[in-house]
């Protein structure tokens, strides 16, 4: 199979279900344009919050990461949706914010990322729409959620990415690509994985409103019950420019951000073209094709328009379920 990974790297991915490629991206070439683009998104968000009377200080003297932290803390809620290049799974409205800018599109179509993905699934690559930016603000700076009494910005629970899509995509060869925009470590919420457990298949996941979820503080999301998590846990501190590639069934989670630093990361997903995406309500696109190069999307404006059309459709109709899990399942008791 073509691509940029060595035979040893491919074997390690197959064995462990994950692989970190250190220094794959150049921070100045590949990440700085994204930071510049998001600085403009933040400027516009701050202006709107001040106009609405929700924010009194524009914090313009601060660098981006510190400014995000200051704005989120002053407003007292998570504003990540304004920066995300996907839509929420519930309550999407005709004006739900998102950001699908050209610098983000350039990262989705970054050749060095696609080269690694090609090593794992071949040259017919679809950009799966299960994709997000994560802005994890230091939790001690955020007010607690009045419903739970817990910080709003908590640890990401153990899950498999296969578990957050619908069943028709269970056999889709989906690859998760996770990368930090700045250095991550245990203190500010780096990822942790259960290597070699991807061969155990899809594990049960429990919603936040299940008994398992309530024991975790009712913080929402999906979580694998601890009795199903086996083997060693490996922390994955990463530097800006490092990229993690994961099998769809590799259990992973993230530590809490107990530092004074923002944890800013992207998670992207790719799959062979033609296989189900597991989230049909949202648009993907052909990112690479040896068989049909003309099918590759190279227009960031068309990508943005696809997301605008998806938002209008989802806002006007009750969307199908995004996953299969129920709070009253036996595993969640």
Token pair recorded at residue 39: 């600085």
**pTM exceeding 0.75:** yes
- How far apart CA 243 and CA 77 sit, in angstroms, is 29
Dihedral in degrees, nearest 10, Cα atoms 215, 217, 218, 220: -110
Note the pLDDT tens digit of each residue in 286-323: 999 999 999 999 999 999 999 999 999 999 987 667 78
Instruction: Please name which of 81, 87, 88, 92 lies closest in space to residue 317, comparing C-alpha atoms.
Output: 92
Whether domain 7-332 has CATH 2.60.120.620: yes
Note the pLDDT tens digit of each residue in 80-104: 999 999 999 878 999 999 999 999 9
Report, in angstroms and rounded to the nearest whole number, the Rg of the chain calculated over CA atoms.
Answer: 19
Residue ranges of domains in the chain? 7-332
Residues of the chain with pLDDT under 70: 1, 146-154, 209-220, 319-320
SS3 state of residue 136: strand
Which CA distances in Å does 32 have to 141, 298, 307? Answer: 26, 20, 24
The residue with tokens 């989906």 is 174
Q: What is the pLDDT of residue 32?
A: 97
Q: What is the pLDDT of residue 142?
A: 84
Q: What is the pLDDT of residue 42?
A: 98
Token pair recorded at residue 189: 């919420």
Where do the H-state alpha helices sit in the chain? Answer: 7-16, 32-51, 64-75, 102-108, 111-121, 211-215, 300-316
């Amino acid at each position: 199979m073509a691509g940029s990974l060595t035979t040893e790297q491919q074997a390690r991915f197959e064995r462990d279900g994950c692989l970190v490629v250190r220094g794959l991206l150049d921070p100045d070439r590949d990440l700085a344009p994204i930071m510049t683009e998001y600085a403009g998104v933040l400027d516009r968000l701050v202006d709107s919050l001040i106009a609405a009377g929700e924010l009194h200080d524009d914090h313009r003297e601060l660098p981006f990461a510190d400014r995000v932290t200051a704005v989120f803390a002053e407003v007292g809620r998570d504003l990540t949706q304004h920066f995300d290049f996907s839509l929420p799974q519930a309550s999407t409205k005709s004006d739900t914010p998102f950001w699908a800018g050209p610098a983000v599109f350039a990262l989705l179509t970054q050749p060095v990322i696609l080269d690694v993905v090609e090593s794992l699934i071949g040259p017919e690559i679809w950009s799966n729409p299960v994709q997000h930016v994560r802005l994890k603000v230091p939790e001690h700076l955020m007010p607690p959620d009045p419903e739970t009494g817990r910080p709003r910005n908590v640890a990401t629970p153990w899950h498999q990415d296969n578990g957050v899509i619908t069943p028709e995509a269970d056999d889709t060869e989906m690859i998760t690509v996770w990368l930090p925009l700045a250095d991550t470590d245990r203190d500010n919420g780096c990822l942790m994985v259960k290597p070699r457990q991807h061969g155990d298949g899809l594990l049960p996941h429990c919603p936040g409103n299940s008994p398992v979820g309530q024991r975790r503080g009712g913080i929402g999301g999906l979580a694998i019950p601890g009795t199903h998590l086996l083997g060693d846990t490996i922390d994955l501190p990463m530097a800006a420019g490092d990229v993690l590639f994961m099998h769809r069934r590799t259990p992973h989670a993230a530590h809490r951000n107990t530092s004074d630093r923002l944890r800013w990361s992207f998670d992207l997903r790719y799959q062979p073209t033609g296989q189900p995406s597991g989230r049909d309500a949202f648009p993907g696109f052909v990112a690479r094709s040896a068989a049909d190069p003309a099918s590759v999307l190279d227009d960031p404006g068309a990508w943005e328009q696809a997301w605008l059309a998806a938002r209008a459709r989802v806002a006007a109709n009750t969307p199908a379920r995004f996953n299969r899990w129920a709070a009253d399942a036996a595993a969640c008791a």
